[in-house]
């Protein structure tokens, strides 16, 4: 049987690596073409890789929690199919470290392949593998000595056993990426946040009146996020300089309106699925696509491209009881809107016959924007514009 070296496939623009989450097959298992082999995670989404051939899973080249680059071989399958890949010469270059001619010669002589060489712990400068390192590895391998698997791509997870009242929990990959993204955003953008209160009484009453019938007729849950998105889109059309990004000293004005929806996952991490061309949908269309994206986001079923290309982001912080906040801009965008909890409040209501005191449903909008390119007038006016569209929302819309 020939060997097929299974590479980590390209998964979309800007995605260069992925973390192995879990293997769905064991070494020695027979797999059919299109059988799912392994679950992986990028900084965008989780997904699964299937086998492109019929054969036997001979060897897993990466363990759970290890990071593979796009194009790296992650598994070897034995197959009788003719298009299996050939042996990869040891002279292949490593992007991570240099291998001396002596080390390559020893590896070639001993039949050590490139992927295997990459797993050897190097004690030389910049983690280079020395003659001593490779000879030690060969000795251990020949004598079948079991040693802990070396992983130079990941941090070592550890628990401080001396601290009885503490537990050290290593961040998962998505949390680390999110942390780096947030720090980078704060370092890049001059964050300013404006706050506006909006009266959404008519919207709340409209939803309460039709939600049951709407769900019965369409099978879709009528959430208010669709209304928020529609009002944000209208405000962007009025004030298009919110829909921009920055490249050095150049301002890039976006013609398309792609709205990102910051979504909390069951494990506490955050993901931002994107409604592409949000201005092309009517309210029913927005309801359907929002429900679909959020449902698939929470079950790790989004495609990588569905989390890319956003031009403006909305975060529903009211869903976990917050009134307002100071959201961090999702780079390379320049603004983000946080929607707070809807509350009943005693309010002064202006009427032609005079002012009255009544109970109204109010909400805070928190608009963070990049003060390098968005002044307070534009940033504040945009938040107010969204509030006005919410207050003027046509509650007689036929959906």
397 pLDDT tier (thresholds 50, 70, 90): low
pLDDT value at 120 more than 90: no
Kindly report, residue by residue over 59-93, the tens digit of the pLDDT. Answer: 999 999 888 888 889 999 998 866 433 333 353 44
314 pLDDT tier (thresholds 50, 70, 90): very high
pLDDT recorded at residue 95: 46
- Whether residue 332 is preceded by a cis peptide bond, meaning omega within 30 degrees of 0, is yes
**218-247 average pLDDT score:** 95
pLDDT recorded at residue 163: 55
Of 350 and 388, more confident: 388
124 pLDDT tier (thresholds 50, 70, 90): confident
154 pLDDT tier (thresholds 50, 70, 90): very low
pLDDT recorded at residue 82: 60
**107-126 average pLDDT score:** 77
User: Would you name the residues annotated as active-site residues?
Assistant: 371, 375
**Contact (Cβ atoms closer than 8 angstroms) between residue 116 and residue 104:** no
Place of tokens 């929302």: 393
Q: What is the percent of the chain where pLDDT is above 70?
A: 86
Identify the weakest region by mean pLDDT among 214-218, 363-367, 392-396.
Answer: 392-396
Distance CA 117, CA 119 (A): 5
Kindly report, residue by residue over 272-308, the tens digit of the pLDDT. Answer: 999 999 999 999 999 999 999 999 998 888 888 899 8
> Strand 67-69 relative to strand 312-316: parallel, antiparallel, unpaired?
unpaired
Report if pTM > 0.85. no
Of 154 and 57, more confident: 57
How does the average pLDDT of the chain come out, rounded? 85
Kindly report, residue by residue over 181-199, the tens digit of the pLDDT. Answer: 899 999 999 999 999 999 9
**Contact (Cβ atoms closer than 8 angstroms) between residue 14 and residue 1:** no
pLDDT value at 147 more than 70: no
């Amino acid at each position: 049987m020939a060997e097929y070296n299974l590479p980590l496939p390209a998964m979309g623009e800007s995605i260069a690596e992925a973390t192995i989450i879990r293997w769905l097959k064991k070494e020695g298992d027979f797999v059919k073409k299109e059988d799912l082999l392994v679950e992986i995670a990028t900084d965008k989404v989780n997904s699964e890789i299937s086998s492109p051939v019929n054969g036997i899973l001979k060897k897993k080249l990466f363990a759970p929690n290890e990071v593979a680059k796009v194009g790296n071989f992650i598994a070897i399958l034995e197959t009788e199919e003719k298009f299996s890949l050939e042996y990869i010469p040891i002279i292949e270059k490593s992007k991570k470290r240099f291998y001396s001619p002596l080390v390559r010669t020893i590896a070639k002589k001993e039949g050590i392949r490139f992927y295997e060489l990459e797993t050897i712990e190097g004690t030389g400068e910049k983690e280079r593998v020395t003659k001593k390192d490779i000879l030690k590895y060969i000795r251990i391998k020949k004598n079948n000595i079991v040693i802990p698997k070396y992983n130079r791509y990941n941090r070592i997870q550890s628990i401080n056993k001396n601290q009885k009242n503490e537990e050290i929990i290593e961040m998962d990959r998505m949390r680390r990426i999110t942390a780096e993204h947030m720090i980078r955003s704060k370092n890049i953008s001059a964050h300013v946040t404006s706050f506006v209160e909006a009266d959404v009484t008519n919207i709340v009453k409209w939803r309460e009146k039709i939600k049951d019938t709407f769900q019965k007729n369409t099978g879709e849950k009528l959430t208010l996020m669709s209304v928020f998105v529609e009002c944000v889109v209208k405000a962007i059309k009025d004030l298009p300089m919110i829909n921009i990004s920055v490249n050095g000293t150049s301002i890039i004005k976006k013609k398309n309106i792609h709205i990102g929806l910051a979504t909390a996952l069951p494990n506490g991490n955050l993901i931002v699925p994107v409604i592409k061309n949000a201005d092309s949908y009517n309210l029913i269309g927005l309801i359907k696509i929002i429900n679909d994206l959020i449902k698939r986001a929470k079950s790790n079923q989004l495609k990588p491209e569905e989390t890319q290309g956003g031009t403006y982001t909305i975060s529903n912080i009211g869903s976990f009881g917050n009134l307002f906040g100071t959201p961090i801009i999702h780079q390379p965008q320049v603004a983000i809107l946080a929607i707070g909890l809807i509350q009943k409040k005693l309010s002064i209501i202006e009427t032609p016959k005079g002012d009255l005191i009544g109970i109204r449903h109010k909400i805070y909008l928190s608009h963070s924007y990049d003060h390098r390119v968005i002044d307070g007038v534009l940033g504040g006016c945009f938040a107010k514009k969204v509030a006005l569209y919410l207050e003027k929302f046509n509650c007689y819309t036929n959906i």
